[in-house]
Amino acid sequence: MEAGARLEAQFAFLNEADRLKSVLRATTLVDGSRPENSGEHSWHLALYALILADQAGADVDINRVIRMLLIHDLVEIDVGDVPIHSADGLAHGSADTVAAEARAAERIFGLLPQDQGMALRALWEEFEAAETPDAVFAKSLDRVQPVMANLMSGGGTWTTYQVTRAQLESRVGVKIARGAPALWDWVKAKVAPFFA
Amino acid sequence: MEAGARLEAQFAFLNEADRLKSVLRATTLVDGSRPENSGEHSWHLALYALILADQAGADVDINRVIRMLLIHDLVEIDVGDVPIHSADGLAHGSADTVAAEARAAERIFGLLPQDQGMALRALWEEFEAAETPDAVFAKSLDRVQPVMANLMSGGGTWTTYQVTRAQLESRVGVKIARGAPALWDWVKAKVAPFFA
Q: Which of B7, B14, B116 sits opposite A186 (nearest CB)?
A: B7
In chain A, what is the greatest distance between 2 CA atoms, to the nearest angstrom? 62
CA dist B107 → A32, B1, B79, B101, B148 (Å): 23, 19, 12, 10, 33
Distance CA B37, CA B27 (A): 9
Classify residue A85 by its DSSP letter: S
Contact yes or no for A107/A78 (Cβ under 8 A): yes
The CATH number that domain A3-188 falls under is 1.10.3210.10
Q: Could you tell me the residue ranges of all domains in chain B?
A: 3-188
CA of A149 vs chain B CAs: smallest distance (Å): 8
> Over the stretch B83-124, which tens digit does the pLDDT of each residue have?
887 655 557 778 888 999 999 999 999 999 999 999 999 999
Average model confidence (pLDDT) across chain B: 94
Q: Which of A15, A33, A50 sits opposite B70 (nearest CB)?
A: A50
pLDDT for res A92: 74
Amino acid at A112: L
Q: How many other CB atoms are there within 10 angstroms of residue A16's CB atom?
A: 16
Q: Please give the average per-residue pLDDT across B111-139, as a whole number.
A: 98
Residues A66, B71: C-beta atoms closer than 8 Å: no
Q: Which of A14, A36, A152 sits opposite B51 (nearest CB)?
A: A14
Residues A43, B40: C-beta atoms closer than 8 Å: yes
> Over the stretch B66-76, which tens digit does the pLDDT of each residue have?
999 999 999 99
Residues B66, A71: C-beta atoms closer than 8 Å: no
pLDDT, averaged in runs of 10, over chain A (196 residues): 93 98 96 97 98 97 98 96 71 85 97 98 98 98 96 92 93 96 96 91
Chain B residue with minimum CA distance to A51:
B10
Provide ipTM, 2 decimals: 0.96
Classify residue A18 by its DSSP letter: G
pLDDT for res B88: 58
What is the 3-state composition of chain B as percent helix, strand, coil, each rounded to the nearest 5? 70, 5, 25
Q: Is the dihedral of CA A136, A139, A143, A148 positive or negative?
A: positive
Q: Which of A15, A67, A152 sits opposite B30 (nearest CB)?
A: A15
Best of A11, A16, A22, A45 to disrupt the B interface (most B CBs within 10 Å) is A11
CA of B54 vs chain A CAs: smallest distance (Å): 10
Residues A44, B21: C-beta atoms closer than 8 Å: yes
Q: Which chain A residues are Cβ-neighbours of B47 within 8 angstroms?
A: 14, 17, 70-71
pLDDT for res B136: 98
pLDDT for res A70: 98
Residues A50, B43: C-beta atoms closer than 8 Å: no
Residues B47, A71: C-beta atoms closer than 8 Å: yes
Q: Which chain A residues are Cβ-neighbours of B24 within 8 angstroms?
A: none
pLDDT for res A93: 75
